[in-house]
Chains A and B, each alone.
Chain A
Amino acid sequence: MIAMKTLYLIVPLAPLAGAIVAGLFGRAIGRAGAHWVTILSVAISFAASCAIFADVSAGHGFNGTVYTWLASGGTRFEIGFLIDRLTVLMMVVVTFVSLMVHIYTVGYMADDPGYQRFFSYISLFTFSMLMLVMSNNFLQLFFGWEAVGLVSYLLIGFWYTRPSAIYASLKAFLVNRVGDFGFLLGIALILSQFGSLDYASVFSQAPGAASGMTLICLLLFVGAMGKSAQFPLHVWLPDSMEGPTPISALIHAATMVTAGIFMVARMSPLFELSQTARSVVMVIGAITALFMALVAVTQYDIKRVIAYSTLSQLGYMTVALGASAYSVGIFHLMTHAFFKAVLFLGAGSVIIALHHEQDMRRMGGLRKYMPITYLTMLIGALANAGLPPFAGFFSKDAILEAVQASHASGAGFAYAALLLGVFFGGLYSFRLVFYAFHGEPRMDAHTRAHLKESPWVVTLPLVLLAIPSVAAGWWIGPIVFGDYFGSSIVQRFHEEYHGVWSFMLQGIAAAPFWFGLAGAGLAGYLYLYRTDLPKKIALALGPIYALVNQKYGVDELNEWLFARGARLLGTGLWKGGDEAVIDGVLVNGSARVVGWVASVVRLFQSGLVYQYAFTMLIGVVLLTYFFLRT
């Protein structure tokens, strides 16, 4: 299987090569050169991923080392690949969405002076994400983890002259560092407990050490909370919308933020050993799913609505993991990657058509001007709201079924939260569609006169992503209920399954569907017919609305408690510790003491030589005695 091994290497290395060429020689190869080289390299990577997918589906696989990073104290830290069914699914999703976003960027960033740099970054991101999902050990996982975080930092701050972008990038990196703190501790704990960082070796030993597993799993999950933006570490994701829209789709919706979900699924043999950890995961996920959906209803910035929607959807995935339905979580990860990419890229299409207007209050009626964008966005919204037969319906329904079937503590709360979340999901999804695409146009006359559909490089990716947003749900049979994942993750979730149609019929008969429909219907009523009502409702709800609209004040709390606290502590230590105590009291104080001692010692300086000699003799005797007395 030499040929296959070469393919494994090509998948991550092609985008890396593209990134290096576009990044270092961007000026020499020009704008077209930069986009061609990166698009081609990602296309190669996608094709190779598909070939590997076919190969793995045929029953092959790989788990081995390609490079030894360092060996220390009997442990070897290596770079290696684990190619199984979970991995290839992620590889195909990542490279596909990445390819679409690369193509889309040609249109979206056409006028940007940092064109080549942008292509270099997104290719670098693709490389890092692939290294993360293809890893066969925790250390490489952490490397990829940090690398995607770094590229995310660079991309959020891509327009580095804007203060808001600088602040957002800094915040994203720092919040993720808090998560990393836990993640790194978890990894170190694994190493000290099992003496290895290799997945296979850790998984095989884990059942023997179940007692320490809760702590390990919780620490790993802290890392996942940072990367996958779970409450209360979610604060960075809405701000990350300061980055260009293509990366909001690629990094902050489809791929990087799902790294935490992927990681927990990958670690399913560990999480299965701790019911406590899974309950925590489920509750955190449920809180995120419901409360972020609520915030999405109150936002007017089109990208922020989608960002909060992403947070909520990530919460759904997390709940699925907590309910031991790992395959369902990954399935929702996949469908979400498609329809959320559509929503973001569609929003981007609207934003460029309106000359960088993001406020939905100045949109409206766009469906007449941008039919392709409208249709694809509609598909995305339908999928996001979880209505049949769109992809989101299948994955979301399966999650709710799994939670309903779970007996873990917290499952009841999680089910209620998710059900309510579905209602608000329907509401915010269609609020967005109706606000932006229906009703009277509310933009100024000049903008309106120039409104037109985006160029094909923008609409083609939209269409290509809309197709799986419809169709991907139909793979529920093999992926969730069949044996697609095999032994690559633990599978505990088993339900009766009689094909797509009966699943749909069952779904229509169940509560979640009606909650989602009700939300969508309410959106229609509020934003198409009684457009005066939303304001009144907001006024009537008063403080509650304000609390939600202010995102529950988490940002303010962080800023006040942690950021200010650390700064105060730093200043306190420096001014108080260094300058006042150490230099002021100790150093200058000892200088004073020396002065005082000197004045005393002066008394001994009698000028009599025999006195000096005698004193020296006593000193030498004492010293010698001291050192030799043992």
Chain B
Amino acid sequence: MPSLVSITLFLPLLGALLVMALRKAPAQVVHSIGIVVSGLTLTGAVLMWSRGVNETGFAQLEQFDWMPAIGAAYRVGVDGISLPLVLLSALLFFVTFIYSAKVRERSHAYVVLLLLLETAAIGTFTALDAILFYVFFEVSLVSMYFMIAGWGHEDRQRAALMFFLYTLLGSLPLLLAILGLYLGSDPHTFDMRVWIDKPPLTGTAAMPALVAMLFTFAVKTPVFPFHTWLPAAHVQAPAAGSVILAGVMLKFGTYGLIRFALQMTPGAFRDAGIAILVLGVVSALYGAFAALAQSDLKRLIAYTSVNHMGYIIVGVAIAALALDPAIRATALDGSVLQMVSHGLVTGALFFLVGMLQDRARTREMDRFGGLLKVTPLLGWSFVLAAFASLGLPGLAHFPAEFQIFLATLRVEPVADVVILGIVITAGLYLKAISRVFLGEPREQWAGMADLNVREVLALGPLLILIIALGIAPAWVLDIIHQTTAALRF
């Protein structure tokens, strides 16, 4: 009997095979399969959540041989850093399937790709073997490439290619680093737990490995100046693709940053801590300012992702620089929670922009106006998500960013200039709200329909969790904290 982790991990893949087998099935059936399978996967993730994690390394482990000759094996398990991301991924895929139920264009391929992507995502977060991790990491890339190229908007081919080249080239250095870590470990193994417990590379050898990993994860996160693929990909991706890209796949970068860069080359990471911190600060402020300049609503949200992910980089860098374990835990708690919050909030925002685009066939803010009166449900949902994104207390981003700021203040107070970002993001979201939703409704949009049941079902869970996480962050933080408090490096 395979473990719960493995069942959850491969359920979507089985679903994909099922859909491929049912070639003649009508679109509704195919979408139903997608919804049911991702629903079951979500149930699996919830069960995993209820089993929890433990303070000594990884929990819910499963392992069997794969390529014993080179020390690679099928190894999966979770800890407080990965488990919240597994749950987040399962939830986002589930609501994405609900939202996507309207897709009639090559719906078989669409569902198959999305299900493949789900296995790849959960696999990336649960893999404890570097080769396995790399495989999932790369598979996700292929699925997303086809999502953008196949169901994207006007300039999708170029954007998809840019995305593919960027992240493919970006992930090659990781492979080199993995090889280096493998060669450095004794006996040779790809077991990530071993690498974490006893970092194989030390001293000067660790630095090139770290630089290689940083490069990969900086492209993926993305961090300034490796971020230009992100706005392009987001603007062209279908709404479902944007939700998964921002909500799940960007976290590969920050997750990898913690799991690989920080945990496997901790010494080098500390040495480079200031440089990474500066990169995070610049990235956060750069993203905020660049977002301020946008008139395309989707690109605006894409740039705020650069801002929010920048805070995570800051948090991880601070964790590396901190000498006091309590501060380190605070910084990492904030960073991991920020990944969850960003997934929920930006996921909701991209859904909303997608819903607007479905109705109006445009993303230009200036072409809207007064929609709050025409589509109150859509409008208020956007207002809620936007206020969450600009860091209003009581909503999801605040507890995360607050902890990052606190830890930063105690380690590198100067770096707290990133808080300036909250002024800028407030400005740009208020501007967006006023352009799109306030003012006199335009004649042109008078007949615009408000959210339908399918859309409410897709958005509702995210909005509820955004509030729940803001008011009671403890239920997620407790899981995260079990691991971050015990980290020793």
Alpha-carbon gap, A350 to B86, bound state (A): 61
Q: Render A158-192 as a binary contact track against B, CB cut-off 8 A, 1 for contact.
A: 00110100110110011001101100110011011
Interface stretch, picked from A389-397, A522-530, A550-558, A621-629, is A621-629
Q: Which B383-411 residues have C-beta < 8 A from chain A?
A: 387, 392-394, 399, 403, 405-407, 409-410
A487 CB–B CB distance under 8 Å: no
Distance between B5 CB and nearest chain A CB, rounded to angstroms: 27
Alpha-carbon gap, A581 to B184, bound state (A): 38
Q: Render A594-630 as a binary contact track against B, CB cut-off 8 A, 1 for contact.
A: 0000000000000000000000000000011011111
Alpha-carbon gap, A11 to B76, bound state (A): 51
From B225, B293, B471, residue with most partner A Cβ within 10 Å? B293
Q: Which residues of A contact B416 (CB under 8 A)?
A: 185, 188
Distance between A193 CB and nearest chain B CB, rounded to angstroms: 10
A547 CB–B CB distance under 8 Å: no
Q: Which B192-233 residues have C-beta < 8 A from chain A?
A: 201-205, 208-209, 225, 227-228, 231
Q: Render A390-422 as a binary contact track against B, CB cut-off 8 A, 1 for contact.
A: 000000000000000000000000000000000
- Partner of B422 from A68, A147, A181 at Cβ < 8 Å: A181
Distance between A592 CB and nearest chain B CB, rounded to angstroms: 15
Contact B294 A72 (CB under 8 A): no
- Partner of A627 from B184, B370, B410, B422 at Cβ < 8 Å: B184
Q: Which residues of A contact B438 (CB under 8 A)?
A: 157, 160-161, 166
Distance between A301 CB and nearest chain B CB, rounded to angstroms: 23
Q: Render A559-595 as a binary contact track against B, CB cut-off 8 A, 1 for contact.
A: 0000000110111011101100111001100000000
A150 CB–B CB distance under 8 Å: yes
Q: Which B158-215 residues have C-beta < 8 A from chain A?
A: 179-180, 183-184, 201-205, 208-209
Alpha-carbon gap, A170 to B423, bound state (A): 12
Tell me the dominant secondary structure on chain B's binding face.
helix
Name the residue on B nearest A188 (C-beta).
B409
- Partner of A147 from B294, B393, B473 at Cβ < 8 Å: B393
Contact A73 B327 (CB under 8 A): yes
A146 CB–B CB distance under 8 Å: yes
- Partner of B423 from A157, A178, A586 at Cβ < 8 Å: A178
Contact A150 B392 (CB under 8 A): yes
Q: Which residues of B contact A147 (CB under 8 A)?
A: 393-394
Contact A73 B293 (CB under 8 A): no
Alpha-carbon gap, A418 to B179, bound state (A): 74
- Chain A interface, number of residues (Cβ within 8 angstroms): 56
Name the residue on A nearest B475 (C-beta).
A70
Give how many A-B residue pairs fall within 8 Å (CB-CB).
154
Interface stretch, picked from B16-24, B94-102, B125-133, B283-291, is B283-291
Contact B472 A69 (CB under 8 A): yes
Name the residue on B nearest A159 (C-beta).
B438
From A68, A70, A566, residue with most partner B Cβ within 10 Å? A70
Q: Which residues of B contact A70 (CB under 8 A)?
A: 399, 473-474, 477
From A71, A72, A185, residue with most partner B Cβ within 10 Å? A72
Q: Which residues of B contact A181 (CB under 8 A)?
A: 419-420, 422-423
Q: Which B53-71 residues have C-beta < 8 A from chain A?
A: none
A59 CB–B CB distance under 8 Å: no
Interface stretch, picked from B43-51, B110-118, B427-435, is B427-435
Distance between A100 CB and nearest chain B CB, rounded to angstroms: 28
Distance between A154 CB and nearest chain B CB, rounded to angstroms: 9
Q: Which residues of A contact B294 (CB under 8 A)?
A: 574
User: Given A157-B438, A566-B289: A578 and B474 within 8 A (CB)?
Assistant: no
A142 CB–B CB distance under 8 Å: yes
Alpha-carbon gap, A74 to B409, bound state (A): 16
- Partner of B426 from A163, A177, A189, A577 at Cβ < 8 Å: A177
Contact A184 B205 (CB under 8 A): no
Alpha-carbon gap, A161 to B474, bound state (A): 39
- Partner of A150 from B387, B403, B471 at Cβ < 8 Å: B387
Contact B430 A174 (CB under 8 A): yes
A203 CB–B CB distance under 8 Å: no
Alpha-carbon gap, A143 to B471, bound state (A): 10
Contact A170 B431 (CB under 8 A): yes
Alpha-carbon gap, A583 to B403, bound state (A): 34
Distance between A188 CB and nearest chain B CB, rounded to angstroms: 5
Alpha-carbon gap, A569 to B431, bound state (A): 16
A-B pairs with lowest CB-CB distance, top 8 = A570-B293, A73-B330, A570-B292, A73-B326, A571-B293, A570-B289, A574-B290, A160-B438
A and B contact pairs by CB, cutoff 8 A, 17 listed: A69-B399, A71-B481, A72-B329, A146-B392, A161-B438, A161-B439, A169-B430, A170-B434, A184-B422, A185-B419, A188-B416, A191-B406, A573-B289, A574-B303, A578-B227, A578-B290, A630-B202
Q: A192-B406, A573-B293, A626-B205 are in contact. List 20 more A-B contacts (CB 8 A).
A: A69-B474, A71-B477, A72-B329, A73-B327, A153-B430, A160-B438, A161-B438, A161-B439, A177-B422, A566-B292, A570-B289, A570-B290, A570-B292, A574-B294, A578-B228, A581-B225, A623-B179, A627-B209, A628-B205, A629-B205
